[in-house]
Amino acid sequence: MNEELLERVLSEAQKRVNNQTESTNEGKAVHLTEFVGTAMGDTIGMVIANIDSQLHEHIGLDPKYRSIGFLSARTGGAPHVMSADEAVKATNTEIVKIEMARDTKGGAGHGATIIFAAEDVSDARRAVEITLSAVEKNFGNIYSNEAGHIELHYTARASQALEFGFNAPVGKSFGIIVGAPAAIGLLMADTAVKTANVEIVTYASPNEGTARSNEIIVTITGDSGAVKQSLISAQEVGLASLEALGGTAPSSSTPTLV
């Protein structure tokens, strides 16, 4: 290989590396057609227009779907599922995977990976865009300090993502209660169900239903007003407990549960 050809090959290779490592968090453009965007919680969203046949089989996609939208986060879990629930309501997509890794960058909770399937890549991309745009709003109901965190999430009408991730009854009011360390979550759950006439849908603890996270996660359903009041009561007792343990625990963005 002559020197001129070698230089050209190396130059092209370096361009590809640079394009793949640029990050919008650093104010640089990302020149990958698969890249959609980023959000709070070290969240990245992407699409694949025509997924490889081997991956298609292993993911377990319906044959009619060739395109996927997907995102992963180091911190979050529940806020991402809530955000994805908004996305499936607004697009022609289907949730095919929700997985929560033991992560939170060394904290007490989860990260998340969510995959949307679509017949058209534009639907997959739009679902990821909606999810990313909703993440910051849903982070508003996470309060944390060095000792742990609490989360309260509410929707008046659950859809497919919440059904997939938390067995939520579709079309019904639904709430998620998370407390870490786990003892705080248990106190929050007890307060919630004593506050109003709500029904527990799921219960998860460090040894059951979580990725060995130091959390207790309880989901509830019922009348819209009852679910919301239960969450507010759980938030009050959870925040007081967390701050007694580790000092001030501010919201991660702007609280929406009022």
Q: What is the pLDDT of residues 101-141, one digit of tens each?
A: 887 777 778 889 999 999 999 999 999 999 999 999 999 99
Task: Answer yes or no: is pLDDT of 171 > 90.
Answer: yes
Q: What is the pLDDT of residue 15?
A: 52
In the chain, beta strands by DSSP E:
35-39, 43-48, 67-73, 94-99, 112-118, 142-145, 148-155, 173-180, 198-204, 216-222
- Going by pLDDT thresholds of 50, 70 and 90, the confidence category of residue 26 is very low
Task: Answer yes or no: is pLDDT of 14 > 90.
Answer: no
Q: What is the pLDDT of residues 177-189, one digit of tens each?
A: 999 999 999 999 9
CB 212 within 8 A of CB 103: no
CB 142 within 8 A of CB 174: no
Q: How big is the chain, counted in residues?
A: 258
Q: What is the pLDDT of residues 63-109, one digit of tens each?
A: 999 999 999 999 999 999 999 999 999 999 999 999 988 877 777 78
Task: Answer yes or no: is pLDDT of 18 > 90.
Answer: no
Instruction: Put residue 98 in one of left, alpha, beta given phi > 0 → left and psi -120 to 50 → alpha.
Output: beta
The per-residue pLDDT of the chain, averaged, comes to 90
Using alpha carbons, list the distances in angstroms from residue 200 to 74, 110, 162, 179, 187: 28, 21, 14, 16, 14
Task: Answer yes or no: is pLDDT of 22 > 50.
Answer: no
Mean pLDDT of 34-44: 95
- Of the candidates 40, 36, 123, 128, the one whose C-alpha atom is nearest the C-alpha of residue 79 is 40
CB 76 within 8 A of CB 41: yes
